[in-house]
Amino acid sequence: MPRLSLSERIRVTSLAAERARRRLVSRALYSQLLRWRYGSTAADQLLILPQDLRTRDPSFWDEVEVGQFGLAGSLAMVDAGSPFETRPPTEAWARALHGFDWLRHLEAAETAEAQDTARRLAVEWAGRNRGNGGGFAWRPEVIARRMISWITHAGLLLESADPKTYDAITESLGMQLVRLSASWRTAPVGPPRLLSLMAIVLADLTIADHERQLAEAERLLADELERQILPDGGHISRNPAILVELMLDLLPLSQCFVARDRPVPPEISSAIKRALGMLRFMRMGDGSLARFNGAGIADPAHIATVLAYDAGAAPVEMGHTARSGYVRCEAGASILIADVGPPPALEYAGMAHAGCLSFELSHGPHLIFANGGAPRPRETDWINKSRATVSHNTLCLGEKSSSKMVRHRFLEELVGAHPIRYPKTVTAEASVADGVWTMDAWHDGYVHRFGLLHHRQLRMSRGGLCLEGLDRIGGKSTEVRLKKDLPFSIHFRLHPDVAVSDPSEDGSIAIELPDETIWCFRASGAKMTIEEAIYFADSTGPMRSWQIVLRGVTYGGGEISWSLNCE
């Protein structure tokens, strides 16, 4: 277990003190003495209903009818009982159940029975959970998701409801708003805190007689957006998939300002514009987001829905997102995106991957090289494996990752996972000259272990039909001579839809895309093999794939060149 540096210990102490302060403030604000400042707990009139941009699945109701509750990738059998009495199969399932995001599926069924079930479960939840409760149901981010779901689908819950049902749901909604207004400060850093503030602003916009609290909620949300959405549009965690989830909530919220004839706060408009630009930057040829730093299974419909709001934007330009740490090259029908950034701050690094200088490549609608990506939340056994360097298209030294996992009890509790550290320094330059795109980059992730740097050069030419690479291992300033040879491996993970053949007589490997296009991979300076791999980012779960691996040993230096050409 790596020891924390002095600066990291200071940071952890500061984070612990800040969390304690936030808890004290939230507890005081929710006391009987101060909770009045959040206005009435009544929510008996909704002025507008926000739009739900998430995909709906009417078949969910068919499963509920036979006693199955499938949430967050896990299935629980409810039978004739209540899902709230069922033992949760996973923590993610419990969060989803109490978040009520599944209301959209019941509304999509468009049956009286589904509507009755939605109302019954909302009333049951309200009866079981009071304002001073605890557990999953009262975590700020879960309250936020539930409030957004109840408000968005208020038509399903309240239309033609009897007075008793109407009062139970609206009184609970008002009470939840008061609780969240006091407790949002205790939400985990990152998206949970943003979600909590978005829910408060949404409620103040949609619930009658709550305008008095809106100005303060807007200011808090604006500050958090500026903190988390970087100037280039990336999220501070460096996970591009987070932007999709944020936009699915932030876009309807901005529409509510318009519906209430109020100006959209400039901080919200700016964050939306920046984030949409980054999503387009990180999109591969098949429409998916590049699988870096926690990005995995993303609903293509959600990505397309979000980007439809950016339909009139200028074409995506090649370039380097200096703050987010990614490089993009688009040549002909080929798209290449590379990770050229260090991990984020410890409190945001719980989902970060050790994939520095890895890249993904697509041609037309087909992925050629794809990182392993992140598995579904329920597949906890695969999470650490998916974060390792060997699960990415880059070089691995000594069978070790270029990042180290920090196993610290407080950080794990704060972040919800083990954050990573290293590399400390990553540099990258990208340029285009005479129709050839070139990227030169290096990182120091292996300096603390072996005293070695990884340099990588990528060159794209012939309109995207030729990719050449050079991976160089060397010392930081002087030549390094190790006491013993160190093994290395350079991984080129193929997407599961791609077919690959054994090396031919000339040593090349043929890669066949689904459209029957043939690409040839060649390398020198290392032994080339075809090995099994695991692709984590599939909607059905981890699946077998193939990878080309260049293996060798280094005494402290060396160069390995390789190329991929469309024949």
HSE toward the beta carbon, residue 33, CA cutoff 13 A: 5
The phi, psi pair for 157, rounded to 5°, reads: -80, -35
181-204 as b/e, with b when 16 or more CB fall inside 10 Å? Answer: bbbbbbbbbbbbbbbbbbbbbbbb
Q: What is the average pLDDT value for the chain, to the nearest integer?
A: 93
Residue-level pLDDT at 318: 81
- Look up residue 71 and give its two tokens: 């949430």
Q: What is the pLDDT of residue 1?
A: 45
Mean pLDDT, to the nearest integer, of 112-116? Answer: 97
Beta strands in 29-132 (DSSP E): 68-71, 74-77
Strands in 340-394 per DSSP E: 359-363, 366-369
Joined tokens for residue 384: 């650490």
Report the DSSP pairing between strands 319-321 and 326-331: antiparallel
The arithmetic mean of pLDDT across residues 233-249, rounded, is 97
Helix residue ranges, H only, 335-494? 383-387, 409-415, 447-450
pLDDT of 413 reads 84
CB within 8 A of 533, min separation 6: which ones?
372, 491, 493, 494, 544, 545, 546, 547
529 pLDDT above the threshold of 80: yes
In the block, which residue shows the tokens 């901005």?
A: 254
Confidence check: pLDDT of 512 > 90: yes
Q: To which H or E segment does residue 331 belong?
A: strand 326-331
pLDDT digits (tens, 9 = 90+) for 475-490: 987 788 898 999 999 9
The mean-pLDDT minimum among 238-247, 292-301, 334-343 falls in 292-301
Domains by residue range for the chain, with CATH: 18-55+91-310 (1.50.10.100), 321-566 (2.70.98.70)
One-letter amino acid for residue 30 of the chain: Y
